[in-house]
Structure 1
């Protein structure tokens, strides 16, 4: 039970500071969170961008 509560607290903290994180950390957290939850990718991305508009990064160079 404590593990689930700590995961919730850590997740909320990550969302709170999302815009201050380097892009590579954002991407790593996002991809880890979305493993097995492909149907929720767009909803989470939208939530994060709505909360932290400055995270709308340009496309990565090819």
Structure 2
């Protein structure tokens, strides 16, 4: 099996449903994807913003004290 092929499929699926995901999941996926790729942070953030209006994003979950 080619793990990269599945990674691309899963990545495309995540991008397509990004606006429906809870914000904490979005943040976890984004930070995991950007680990070691600081030079791409802006580009990925722009891609996600362009495809999903900020008003579509679910509110940030309350922080536990």
**Considering the TM-score relative to the shorter chain, is it more than 0.5?**
yes
Unaligned runs of 5+ in 2: none
Hey, what's the Cα distance between the residues in 2 that align with 1:3 and 1:47?
A: 23
What stretches of structure 1 move > 3 A for 4+ residues in a row? none
Aligned residues: 60
CA RMSD of aligned residues (A): 2.3
Question: Is the helix fraction higher in 1 or 2?
Answer: 1
- Does 1:47 find its partner at 2:47? yes
Q: TM-score scaled to structure 1, two decimals?
A: 0.85
Alignment of 1:1-62 (within 5 A): 2-53=2-53, 54-55=56-57
1:27-54 alpha-carbon deviations (Å, 9 max, x no partner):
0000000001001101100110100012
Give the number of the structure with larger relative contact order, counting CA–CA contacts within 8 Å between residues 6 or more apart: 2
Hey, what's the Cα distance between the residues in 1 that align with 2:42 and 2:27?
A: 14
Distance apart, 1:2 and its partner CA: 1.4
